[in-house]
Amino acid sequence: MTKRTYRNASVAALVLLFLLLSPLQDKIDLQRKQMGFEQRLLLMPGQIAGSLALGGFKGLAADLLWLQVEELFHSGQSHKMLPILRSVTFLQPKFITPWAVGGWHLSYNISVMAKDPNEKEAWIQAGVDFLKEGITYNPERYDLYFELGWTFYHKVKNYAEAVKYLELACKFPGPDYLPNVLAHAYEKNGQIDTAIETWREILRSGNSFGHLSPRHIHNLKTYGSTITPETPKKK
Amino acid sequence: MVKAIVIAKNTFQESLRLRSYQIILVFALLLLGSSQLFSFLTPAEQLKMIKDVSLSGIEFFGMLLAIFASMTALRSEFETNTISTLFSKPLKRSDFILGKFLGMAMVITLSIIMMSVVFIGLILLKQRSFEISLFSALFLIWAEMLVIVAITLAVAAFASTAFTLIFVLFLFLVGHLTGYGLSMAERMKNPVMHVVARFFYKIIPNFENFAIRDQVVVGGTVPISYLLKTFGYGIIYAAIALIICLYFFRYREV
């Protein structure tokens, strides 16, 4: 084979292979998009984390930032950890813990530090919004639905919203306490019959909280509440 | 083909004797062991950190190994002039290159298996079970390393050691950023830039295709169809690199 023929054959083979590669890359891109694996533009603090992310080591960068969040939290610098938390969620949106912990910090720890009621409410709302954003990246897991439902139930005291998100949480595999909390949310929302039915279902399904069902069903039927006049008050 | 297998076997044995290979392997094992240091975190966080550090370590050290060992396997033949002796015998250049690639593929496979055994051991120690999806991440890291081996051989066939090292490391970084580059170019209003960006996006190896560990460590699963497509992408890219390697090597004075 002459040099020229060999060169032409090599170029033809390369062109053919690149032509094969192009639609394959399109298919991979599409599937990555469907799986939520798309690359996102990075704007984040910390040069170390940035350079690691540039090398394709986003998970490692997220871990380093997460360690920093832990350190700031334990030293009481809650406000400083917010932008870092945001960076972690940006790098690894499917890492549940930063969403859950971030939502909790905003709605609980940071909001109680605010003296102005409007500011307090704004922080609680920021926590709710943070959790809602986390759900958009993790819609097929119970965790963030539960966190949001719990925030509405316990902090915001918006029981209708609590029921909505706790019902969503119960649609996915999760721990035994999910239907338990949902039953209490139904009760607080005035849906006593649904609460009784939920406690019955807890008993039927062999849930580890099933032993509470007979007492709660009895109290709900008798007093319309699981809290009875005999229930000891919290100090 | 028989001659290529003989070359592959020889390359494999030679690479195992390389000191740089052993040092990198020790570093990798140390790194995997050091991931035990996250004991102050909650068990779930600790496990996630171990998975992240270990998988990133396997990829990083695997990449260094693939570059150094492949470069040395080819360049040392020129530097010690053993290549002249080899080609004084009836040996085709294509068999030589194929043999070098297969030999390096064996080296990479062995090193990734060794690092994976340590990784699996760590996970089993922590949670008494090992998710199948983690094998997907290890499989694609292995496929990515095969592409890097082929690219390193292609560059080492015509360039100096220093150039090969810098070029392949640079390509590894760029290959993880092509997606960002494309999305930034698509924000520009200039349509010519879109075409140019898309062209380079298709030409430059997209190593981000192989990066699934960030999703896998947080419990995500990857369908087999994705693994097959990406493996196919890797095979085609390795073939491209080997054709380029053979083209430059064929007309090289030995």
pLDDT at B9 exceeding the cut of 80: yes
Query: Which residues constitute the domain of residue B139?
Result: 2-176+211-250
3-state DSSP assignment of residue A159: helix
Indicate the domain borders of chain A: 43-92
In 3-state terms chain B splits into helix, strand, coil percentages (rounded to 5) of 85, 0, 15
DSSP at A210: G
* Terminal C-alpha separation, chain A: 94
> Is B183 within 8 Å of A39 when comparing Cβ atoms?
yes
- In A123-162, the residues whose Cβ lies within 8 Å of chain B are 141
- What does the block give as tokens for A49? 């984390």
A5 touching B, CB under 8 A?
A: no
Between CA A155 and CA A112 the distance in angstroms is 11
> Is A24 within 8 Å of B44 when comparing Cβ atoms?
no
Interface test with B, best of A8, A16, A21 (most B CBs within 10 A): A21
Query: Dihedrals φ, ψ of B42, to 5°?
Result: -70, 155
Between CA B48 and CA B131 the distance in angstroms is 12
Can you give the C-alpha Rg of chain A in angstroms?
26
Find the CB nearest A17 among B52, B223, B239: B239
> Is A54 within 8 Å of B173 when comparing Cβ atoms?
yes
pLDDT at B132 exceeding the cut of 70: yes
For residue B231, what pLDDT band results from cuts at 50, 70 and 90? very high
The pLDDT of residue A50: 60
**Single-letter amino acid, residue B243:** I
The pLDDT of residue B26: 74
Share of chain B above pLDDT 70, in %: 93
**Among positive and negative, which fits the CA dihedral A120, A123, A129, A134?**
negative
Residues of A in contact with B44 (CB under 8 A): 97
Question: Is residue B15 a contact partner of residue B108, using CB atoms and an 8 Å limit?
Answer: no
B54 touching A, CB under 8 A?
A: no
Q: What DSSP string runs through A9-38? A: HHHHHHHHHHHHHHHHHHHHHHHHHHHT--
Residue B76 belongs to a domain = yes
How many other C-beta atoms lie within 10 A of the C-beta of residue B164? Answer: 24
pLDDT at B199 exceeding the cut of 60: yes
Search chain B and give the residue with CA nearest A91. B214
Residues of B in contact with A54 (CB under 8 A): 173, 176-177
Residue B61 belongs to a domain = yes
Between CA B117 and CA B45 the distance in angstroms is 22
Please compute the mean of the pLDDT values over residues B219-228 and round it to a whole number: 90
Nearest to A205 by CA among A227, A234, A173: A173
Residue B182 belongs to a domain = no
Between CA B78 and CA A10 the distance in angstroms is 24
Residues of A in contact with B202 (CB under 8 A): 18, 21-22, 25
Please compute the mean of the pLDDT values over residues B149-165 and round it to a whole number: 92
Interface test with B, best of A3, A63, A65 (most B CBs within 10 A): A63
Q: What is the largest CA-CA distance in chain B?
A: 63
Search chain B and give the residue with CA nearest A29. B209
Between CA A164 and CA B157 the distance in angstroms is 64
Mean pLDDT of chain B: 86
DSSP at A108: I
Residue B123 belongs to a domain = yes
The pLDDT of residue B6: 87
Please compute the mean of the pLDDT values over residues B173-192 and round it to a whole number: 82
- In B194-223, the residues whose Cβ lies within 8 Å of chain A are 201-203, 206-209, 211-215, 217-220, 222-223
Distance from CA of B44 to the nearest CA of A (A): 9
Distance from CA of A91 to the nearest CA of B (A): 9
Question: Is residue B84 a contact partner of residue B254, using CB atoms and an 8 Å limit?
Answer: yes
pLDDT at B39 exceeding the cut of 60: yes
Nearest to A80 by CA among A50, A52, A118, A110: A110
Q: What DSSP string runs through A48-106? A: HHHHHHHTT-HHHHHHHHHHHHHHHHHTT-HHHHHHHHHHHHHH-TT-HHHHHHHHHII
The 10s digit of each residue's pLDDT in B42-65 is 777 788 888 888 888 889 889 988
The 10s digit of each residue's pLDDT in B14-38 is 888 776 667 667 767 776 676 667 7
> Is A59 within 8 Å of B206 when comparing Cβ atoms?
no
Question: Is residue B211 a contact partner of residue B176, using CB atoms and an 8 Å limit?
Answer: yes
Query: Dihedrals φ, ψ of A84, to 5°?
Result: -70, -40
> Is A21 within 8 Å of B244 when comparing Cβ atoms?
no
For residue B80, what pLDDT band results from cuts at 50, 70 and 90? confident
Can you give the C-alpha Rg of chain B in angstroms?
20
Please compute the mean of the pLDDT values over residues B76-104 and round it to a whole number: 86
The enclosing H or E element of A119 equals: helix A117-137
For residue B10, what pLDDT band results from cuts at 50, 70 and 90? confident
The pLDDT of residue B74: 86
Distance from CA of A212 to the nearest CA of B (A): 29
Residues of A in contact with B60 (CB under 8 A): 55, 57
B121 touching A, CB under 8 A?
A: no
- pTM for this structure? 0.81
What ipTM does this complex have? 0.86
Q: Which residue has the higher pLDDT, A75 or B209?
A: B209
The pLDDT of residue A53: 61
Q: Per-block average pLDDT, block size 10, for chain A (235 residues)? A: 82 92 92 77 53 69 85 82 87 89 91 88 94 93 96 94 96 93 93 93 91 90 76 59
Count of domains for chain B: 1
